[in-house]
Amino acid sequence: MQEYEAEGLSAPRLAAMRRSLSDGRGALTRRSLLRASGAGAGVLGGLAALGACGIPPAKREDGGAAASDDHSDREKRVTFSNWTEYMDVGDDGQSRPTLRTFTERTGITVKYTEDINDNVEFFGKVKPQLAAGQDTGRDLIVVTDWLAARIIRLGWAQKLDPANLPHAFANLTAQFRSPDWDPGRAHSYPWSGIPTIIAYNARATGGRTVDSVTQLLDDPRLKGRVSFLSEMRDSVGMTLLDMGRDPASFTDADYDAAIARLQDGVDRKQIRRFTGNDYTADLSKGDIAACVAWAGDIVQLQADNPDIKYAIPAAGYVTATDNLLVPAKARHKTNAERLIDHYYEPPVAARLAAYINYVCPVDGVAAELAAIDPAMASNTLILPDGRMTAKSHAFRSLEPDEETAYEEKFAALLGA
């Protein structure tokens, strides 16, 4: 533990990162069934690496992010690192149809690797090269918004060329166009959106709808059968919204009030536990009657259990994103940009959305997705309509000292 604190990590932040590995959205999802168990020693190095205090940013050239010599014209290839189960698969169970189409159209071959098992673990892999101003061997990566923000802030992501991204620029949905950590999407484009919603088992609730955090915390009929998520931004963000506060612009006092609200639910034993994706089994059985949940899980659960329902609170919901970045010193930046743009063409985006079931960040895919699966095209957890989008809120970027303080308070809530 001492070596991690020397790297700038407090014990609460380290505990929060470990929760993410074993219990959070980073564990046992469709994207990565082995993410937590496969971490090993590499994860510990990544945990230390995330204490980025004292790490010098990569050299900036011409005022932009760290640049590289682009070999795209001479080397018609691109290396793409992604999460597991986060790419469409052909009927043979092995081919990648949207990647194959890209190669057929452009002549650029794709070395596709599912080597991102967790944000923390992956950062531990690439941090030494990035900090040294070296090529990571990857031209394109997918990381969650908080880590994307950190990489951009350190100068370890290349600024994208809009000339190579005509479809991405035109088709990116308004909801995701300008996060506070990358205004105007200068360095990133979203791969998918990840909504946090309320889910319930209608059989376990006696047919009653559960549609607010207030109900989760105060309805005596749900006592002891409620769960929240072990990811701070999701559980606190949803509670802030329920209290009339905006997760994009809250104060320390707002945060403390949300923690106190959740602590009261723990003390009264209204909340059964804080969970990662393991809530899905209890929700399906009815042991958990209602919970804060991730939408991708619910889409998949509903396919097998008609009792599983969801609700979007009137107060709104929290959405995170996984994002495409070109690392500093990548050899094939233009090829990577062309691959990003490929996934913003509606037919391609629809094929991907039909497989992964997360929010598609591409406008104009409804007709294409309907041709594949009409039910998915009408599912607002995959293609949010205007009303759904208007209720979406992002959790604001945190300064390192804020993150430490907030995680300490959340860890105390969880008893960590």
Domain of 251?
Answer: 195-319+397-415
- Is 108 in the same domain as 143? yes
Q: Is residue 353 part of a domain?
A: no
- Is 127 in the same domain as 222? no
- Is 173 in the same domain as 307? no
- Is 243 in the same domain as 156? no
Amino acid at site 340: I
- Is 293 in the same domain as 410? yes
pLDDT in tens, 278-301: 899 999 999 999 999 999 889 989
Q: How many residues comprise the chain?
A: 416
Cβ burial, residue 198 (10 Å; 0-12/13-18/19+): buried
Identify the CATH number of the domain in which residue 277 sits.
3.40.190.10
Q: Is the pLDDT of residue 251 over 50?
A: yes
- Is 307 in the same domain as 339? no
Q: Is residue 312 part of a domain?
A: yes
How high is the pLDDT of residue 258? 98
- Is 99 in the same domain as 178? yes
Count of domains observed in the chain: 2
How high is the pLDDT of residue 67? 55
Q: Is the pLDDT of residue 26 over 50?
A: no
Token pair of 118 as six digits: 């967790």
Q: Is residue 286 part of a domain?
A: yes
Instruction: Lowest mean pLDDT of 74-78, 108-112, 330-334, 412-416, name the range.
Output: 412-416
Q: Is residue 335 part of a domain?
A: yes
- Is 203 in the same domain as 175? no
pLDDT in tens, 351-393: 999 998 899 999 999 999 999 999 999 999 999 999 999 999 9
Residues 386, 152, 121, 79, CA torsion sign: positive
Instruction: Lowest mean pLDDT of 155-164, 332-341, 393-402, name the range.
Output: 393-402
Would you say 83 and 147 are in contact if contact means Cβ atoms under 8 Å apart?
no
Say if pTM beats, i.e. exceeds, 0.75.
yes
How high is the pLDDT of residue 326? 98
DSSP H or E stretch at residue 317: strand 317-325
- Is 182 in the same domain as 292? no
Q: Is residue 54 part of a domain?
A: no
Q: Is residue 181 part of a domain?
A: yes
- Is 114 in the same domain as 208? no
pLDDT in tens, 254-280: 999 999 999 999 999 999 999 887 899
Cβ burial, residue 140 (10 Å; 0-12/13-18/19+): buried
Q: How far apart are CA 52 and CA 62, in angstroms?
A: 24
How high is the pLDDT of residue 11? 52
Token pair of 114 as six digits: 């599912």
Q: Is residue 36 part of a domain?
A: no
DSSP sequence for 126-169: HHHHHHTT---S-SEEEEEHHHHHHHHHTT-BPPP-GGG-HHHH
Q: Is residue 43 part of a domain?
A: no
- Is 402 in the same domain as 276? yes
